[in-house]
Amino acid sequence: MQIYFVRHGKTEWNLASRFQGGHGDSPLLPQSLEDIKKLGQHLIGVKFRGIFASPLDRAFNTAQGIDNAMNANLPVVIDERLREFNLGDMEGMKFEEAEKKFPEQMNNFWHHPDKYDPTELHGEDYMHVIGRGKSFAEEMAKRFPDDNDKVLAVSHGAALSAIMGGLLGYPLKDIRKNGGLSNTSLTILETLDGGKTFKPVVWNETSYLGRKLSKTDSL
């Protein structure tokens, strides 16, 4: 079976280089609504067994927009395990602010996941995010065991980097080695052994957007 992982559309806080995290949220940009429609049109013809989304509006609304553009008429099921990283005290802060206030944590969060300690930030660590993501993926593999089964899961940049790195078996220090994910990007992971192992089929695909991405599309 395959899981089509999508990062939500770009938001006002993405544009402003501001951390949203697991509890902050901001509206999708008008451009994002067009991008979401393009992704949905790109996916027309794919027979999904289910559509799942983080409970945060930016992810849920992205999933709903894709569903509408595909004319799939599937309910979008909220799954808490797809929520963005809880970044604690960094949520709502601009990146440059957080870098001044929490330089070590910021550096480790982006570049040294094995050293990231969110205790001071009252946040969530990588292993917890990876664990909930694996729980979701393994459940999907059991519920939809046929090789041709496909589900769509809309989540967030930091969470997906951790979750998918974990599913691919990367050691914690290398969990982000494939780089960041762009807004409204598509990554497909496949398992043929009931969720024991996964392999990448598509990674961070955005060609269907038909435009050159800016730096803030990948923050």
Active site residues: 8, 84
Residues comprising the binding site for substrate? 7-14, 58
Per residue, what are the HEC states of 132-151?
Answer: HHHHHHHHHHHHCCCCCCEE
Please name the helix (run of DSSP H) or strand (run of DSSP E) that holds residue 99, with its range, or none.
helix 95-101
DSSP 55: S
Spell out the residues 6+ positions from residue 202 whose beta carbon is closer than 8 angstroms to its own. 186, 187, 188
Residues comprising the binding site? 7-14, 58
* Closest residue by Cα to residue 1 from 39, 42, 33, 46: 46
Encoding tokens for residue 2?
């395959």
- How far apart CA 148 and CA 154 sit, in angstroms, is 20
Contact 29, 12 (CB under 8 A): yes
- How far apart CA 38 and CA 101 sit, in angstroms, is 39
